[in-house]
Chains A and B, each alone.
Chain A
Amino acid sequence: DTGVSQNPRHKITKRGQNVTFRCDPISEHNRLYWYRQTLGQGPEFLTYFQNEAQLEKSRLLSDRFSAERPKGSFSTLEIQRTEQGDSAMYLCASSSPRGVNSPLHFGNGTRLTVT
Protein backbone atom coordinates (compact mmCIF):
# COMPACT_ATOMS: atom_id res chain seq x y z
CA ASP A 1 0.00 0.00 0.00
CA THR A 2 1.91 3.01 -1.28
CA GLY A 3 -0.92 5.45 -0.67
CA VAL A 4 -2.76 7.81 -2.98
CA SER A 5 -0.33 9.86 -5.03
CA GLN A 6 -1.13 13.30 -6.42
CA ASN A 7 0.96 15.36 -8.82
CA PRO A 8 2.03 18.04 -8.85
CA ARG A 9 2.02 19.06 -5.17
CA HIS A 10 1.88 22.72 -6.10
CA LYS A 11 0.83 24.54 -9.25
CA ILE A 12 0.97 28.27 -9.89
CA THR A 13 -0.72 29.48 -13.03
CA LYS A 14 -1.95 32.68 -14.56
CA ARG A 15 -5.63 33.38 -14.95
CA GLY A 16 -6.98 32.00 -18.19
CA GLN A 17 -4.50 29.15 -18.46
CA ASN A 18 -5.46 25.47 -18.41
CA VAL A 19 -4.13 23.13 -15.74
CA THR A 20 -4.25 19.36 -15.30
CA PHE A 21 -3.75 17.37 -12.12
CA ARG A 22 -3.09 13.68 -11.82
CA CYS A 23 -4.17 11.21 -9.15
CA ASP A 24 -2.85 7.67 -8.80
CA PRO A 25 -5.07 5.71 -6.41
CA ILE A 26 -4.04 2.80 -4.25
CA SER A 27 -3.59 -0.27 -6.40
CA GLU A 28 -6.83 -2.25 -6.87
CA HIS A 29 -8.99 0.56 -5.50
CA ASN A 30 -11.82 0.88 -7.98
CA ARG A 31 -13.45 3.96 -6.46
CA LEU A 32 -11.92 7.38 -6.90
CA TYR A 33 -13.07 10.75 -5.63
CA TRP A 34 -12.07 14.36 -6.26
CA TYR A 35 -12.63 17.07 -3.68
CA ARG A 36 -11.75 20.77 -3.49
CA GLN A 37 -10.76 22.47 -0.24
CA THR A 38 -10.41 26.21 0.24
CA LEU A 39 -8.76 27.85 3.22
CA GLY A 40 -10.73 27.44 6.42
CA GLN A 41 -13.29 25.12 4.85
CA GLY A 42 -13.90 21.42 4.68
CA PRO A 43 -13.42 19.44 1.48
CA GLU A 44 -16.20 19.91 -1.09
CA PHE A 45 -17.14 16.98 -3.30
CA LEU A 46 -16.47 17.41 -7.01
CA THR A 47 -16.84 14.02 -8.67
CA TYR A 48 -16.73 10.25 -8.15
CA PHE A 49 -15.64 7.35 -10.35
CA GLN A 50 -16.27 3.67 -10.01
CA ASN A 51 -13.75 2.03 -12.30
CA GLU A 52 -13.81 4.19 -15.46
CA ALA A 53 -17.41 5.32 -15.03
CA GLN A 54 -18.04 8.79 -13.67
CA LEU A 55 -21.08 8.15 -11.47
CA GLU A 56 -21.54 11.45 -9.68
CA LYS A 57 -20.74 15.08 -10.42
CA SER A 58 -21.31 18.00 -8.10
CA ARG A 59 -23.00 21.21 -9.18
CA LEU A 60 -19.64 22.77 -8.25
CA LEU A 61 -18.12 21.08 -11.28
CA SER A 62 -18.70 23.78 -13.89
CA ASP A 63 -18.17 23.17 -17.59
CA ARG A 64 -14.59 24.43 -17.18
CA PHE A 65 -13.83 21.36 -15.08
CA SER A 66 -13.46 17.90 -16.53
CA ALA A 67 -12.32 14.68 -14.93
CA GLU A 68 -11.38 11.42 -16.55
CA ARG A 69 -10.36 7.97 -15.52
CA PRO A 70 -9.84 6.28 -18.86
CA LYS A 71 -8.66 2.83 -17.81
CA GLY A 72 -10.07 2.72 -14.33
CA SER A 73 -6.67 3.37 -12.78
CA PHE A 74 -5.25 6.90 -12.56
CA SER A 75 -7.44 9.95 -12.95
CA THR A 76 -6.91 13.48 -14.26
CA LEU A 77 -8.73 16.66 -13.34
CA GLU A 78 -8.48 19.49 -15.86
CA ILE A 79 -9.49 23.08 -15.28
CA GLN A 80 -9.81 25.22 -18.38
CA ARG A 81 -9.57 29.02 -18.42
CA THR A 82 -8.63 29.16 -14.75
CA GLU A 83 -10.05 31.90 -12.55
CA GLN A 84 -8.73 33.27 -9.26
CA GLY A 85 -11.64 31.59 -7.51
CA ASP A 86 -10.23 28.22 -8.57
CA SER A 87 -7.32 28.66 -6.15
CA ALA A 88 -7.66 25.81 -3.69
CA MET A 89 -6.30 22.45 -2.60
CA TYR A 90 -7.54 19.67 -4.85
CA LEU A 91 -7.76 16.36 -3.02
CA CYS A 92 -8.08 12.89 -4.47
CA ALA A 93 -9.21 9.84 -2.54
CA SER A 94 -9.71 6.19 -3.36
CA SER A 95 -11.43 3.26 -1.73
CA SER A 96 -11.44 -0.50 -2.06
CA PRO A 97 -14.19 -2.50 -3.75
CA ARG A 98 -14.33 -4.73 -0.67
CA GLY A 99 -17.61 -3.74 0.92
CA VAL A 100 -19.72 -0.63 1.08
CA ASN A 101 -17.94 0.56 4.22
CA SER A 102 -14.42 0.69 2.80
CA PRO A 103 -12.77 3.86 4.06
CA LEU A 104 -11.57 6.65 1.77
CA HIS A 105 -7.80 7.07 1.59
CA PHE A 106 -6.76 10.63 0.73
CA GLY A 107 -3.71 11.88 -1.07
CA ASN A 108 -1.79 14.95 0.10
CA GLY A 109 -3.44 17.11 -2.51
CA THR A 110 -2.42 19.53 -5.24
CA ARG A 111 -2.41 23.17 -4.20
CA LEU A 112 -3.42 25.45 -7.06
CA THR A 113 -2.70 29.17 -7.02
CA VAL A 114 -4.18 31.28 -9.81
CA THR A 115 -2.56 34.71 -10.17
Chain B
Amino acid sequence: AQSVTQPDIHITVSEGASLELRCNYSYGATPYLFWYVQSPGQGLQLLLKYFSGDTLVQGIKGFEAEFKRSQSSFNLRKPSVHWSDAAEYFCAVGAPSGGSYIPTFGRGTSLIVHP
Protein backbone atom coordinates (compact mmCIF):
# COMPACT_ATOMS: atom_id res chain seq x y z
CA ALA B 1 0.00 0.00 0.00
CA GLN B 2 1.11 3.54 -0.67
CA SER B 3 2.00 6.03 2.06
CA VAL B 4 3.30 9.57 2.43
CA THR B 5 5.51 11.07 5.09
CA GLN B 6 5.69 14.78 5.74
CA PRO B 7 8.36 15.02 8.43
CA ASP B 8 7.73 18.64 9.39
CA ILE B 9 4.52 19.39 11.29
CA HIS B 10 5.18 23.14 11.35
CA ILE B 11 7.46 25.36 9.29
CA THR B 12 8.01 29.03 10.09
CA VAL B 13 9.51 31.40 7.53
CA SER B 14 9.81 35.13 7.14
CA GLU B 15 7.93 36.84 4.34
CA GLY B 16 10.18 37.02 1.29
CA ALA B 17 12.28 34.04 2.33
CA SER B 18 12.50 30.84 0.33
CA LEU B 19 10.52 27.75 1.29
CA GLU B 20 10.97 24.02 0.99
CA LEU B 21 8.42 21.53 2.33
CA ARG B 22 9.52 17.93 2.45
CA CYS B 23 7.58 14.91 1.25
CA ASN B 24 8.64 11.28 1.05
CA TYR B 25 6.44 8.57 -0.39
CA SER B 26 6.27 4.82 -0.46
CA TYR B 27 4.78 3.14 -3.50
CA GLY B 28 5.77 0.09 -5.50
CA ALA B 29 5.33 1.51 -8.99
CA THR B 30 5.74 4.86 -10.67
CA PRO B 31 3.73 7.20 -8.47
CA TYR B 32 1.29 9.93 -9.22
CA LEU B 33 2.27 12.75 -6.86
CA PHE B 34 0.44 15.88 -5.75
CA TRP B 35 0.66 18.89 -3.50
CA TYR B 36 -2.52 20.47 -2.13
CA VAL B 37 -3.05 23.56 0.02
CA GLN B 38 -5.81 24.03 2.58
CA SER B 39 -6.80 27.30 4.23
CA PRO B 40 -8.71 27.17 7.55
CA GLY B 41 -12.25 25.89 7.15
CA GLN B 42 -11.80 25.29 3.45
CA GLY B 43 -11.38 22.35 1.14
CA LEU B 44 -8.16 21.42 -0.58
CA GLN B 45 -6.82 23.19 -3.64
CA LEU B 46 -4.42 21.49 -6.03
CA LEU B 47 -1.07 23.28 -6.33
CA LEU B 48 0.63 20.91 -8.75
CA LYS B 49 0.81 17.32 -9.87
CA TYR B 50 3.30 14.86 -11.32
CA PHE B 51 2.32 11.92 -13.50
CA SER B 52 5.29 11.45 -15.80
CA GLY B 53 7.86 13.32 -17.84
CA ASP B 54 9.82 16.31 -16.60
CA THR B 55 10.65 15.75 -12.95
CA LEU B 56 10.49 19.48 -12.16
CA VAL B 57 6.85 20.47 -12.03
CA GLN B 58 5.52 24.02 -12.01
CA GLY B 59 2.31 24.83 -10.21
CA ILE B 60 0.06 27.71 -9.32
CA LYS B 61 0.97 30.61 -7.03
CA GLY B 62 4.67 30.34 -7.91
CA PHE B 63 5.18 26.87 -6.41
CA GLU B 64 7.27 24.10 -7.92
CA ALA B 65 8.16 20.57 -6.90
CA GLU B 66 10.82 18.12 -7.95
CA PHE B 67 10.31 14.36 -8.21
CA LYS B 68 13.42 12.42 -7.17
CA ARG B 69 12.88 8.71 -7.66
CA SER B 70 16.19 7.75 -6.02
CA GLN B 71 15.15 9.54 -2.82
CA SER B 72 11.41 8.75 -3.05
CA SER B 73 10.81 12.44 -2.55
CA PHE B 74 8.62 15.17 -3.98
CA ASN B 75 9.59 18.36 -2.16
CA LEU B 76 7.66 21.59 -2.65
CA ARG B 77 9.53 24.84 -3.12
CA LYS B 78 8.85 28.53 -3.50
CA PRO B 79 11.59 31.15 -3.95
CA SER B 80 9.83 33.96 -2.07
CA VAL B 81 7.00 33.39 0.37
CA HIS B 82 4.08 35.80 0.74
CA TRP B 83 2.00 36.23 3.90
CA SER B 84 -1.00 34.80 2.03
CA ASP B 85 0.86 31.48 1.65
CA ALA B 86 0.24 30.71 5.33
CA ALA B 87 -1.86 27.53 5.24
CA GLU B 88 -1.73 23.76 5.61
CA TYR B 89 0.10 21.90 2.85
CA PHE B 90 -0.55 18.28 1.99
CA CYS B 91 1.50 15.93 -0.15
CA ALA B 92 -0.32 12.98 -1.71
CA VAL B 93 0.51 9.87 -3.71
CA GLY B 94 -2.04 8.39 -6.09
CA ALA B 95 -2.79 4.72 -6.60
CA PRO B 96 -4.48 3.69 -9.87
CA SER B 97 -8.10 2.56 -9.57
CA GLY B 98 -10.70 2.03 -12.28
CA GLY B 99 -9.00 4.22 -14.87
CA SER B 100 -8.37 6.96 -12.32
CA TYR B 101 -6.44 7.18 -9.10
CA ILE B 102 -7.09 7.52 -5.37
CA PRO B 103 -4.80 9.94 -3.52
CA THR B 104 -3.34 8.99 -0.15
CA PHE B 105 -2.43 12.08 1.85
CA GLY B 106 0.30 12.87 4.32
CA ARG B 107 -0.51 14.43 7.68
CA GLY B 108 0.31 17.89 6.40
CA THR B 109 2.75 20.70 7.16
CA SER B 110 1.50 23.93 8.66
CA LEU B 111 3.23 26.96 7.16
CA ILE B 112 3.53 30.05 9.35
CA VAL B 113 4.73 33.26 7.72
CA HIS B 114 6.25 36.03 9.83
CA PRO B 115 6.12 39.61 8.52
Contact = CB atoms under 8 A, between A and B. Distances in A.
A60 interface: no
Contacts of A50: 98-100
Contact of B100 (A4, A44, A95): A95
Contact of A43 (B44, B46, B99): B44
Contact of A45 (B41, B96, B100, B104): B104
Contacts of B43: 4, 91, 93, 106-109
Nearest to B6: A42
Binding site secondary structure of chain B: strand
Interface string A97-115: 0001111111111000000
Interface residues of A, number: 27
A95 B94 CA distance: 13
B102 A42 contact: no
B32 interface: yes
A43 B98 contact: no
Given A103-B46, A108-B41, 7 more contacts: A42-B108, A56-B97, A56-B102, A100-B101, A101-B49, A106-B36, A106-B45
Closest 6 CB pairs of A and B: A42-B105, A106-B43, A106-B44, A55-B98, A108-B43, A101-B51
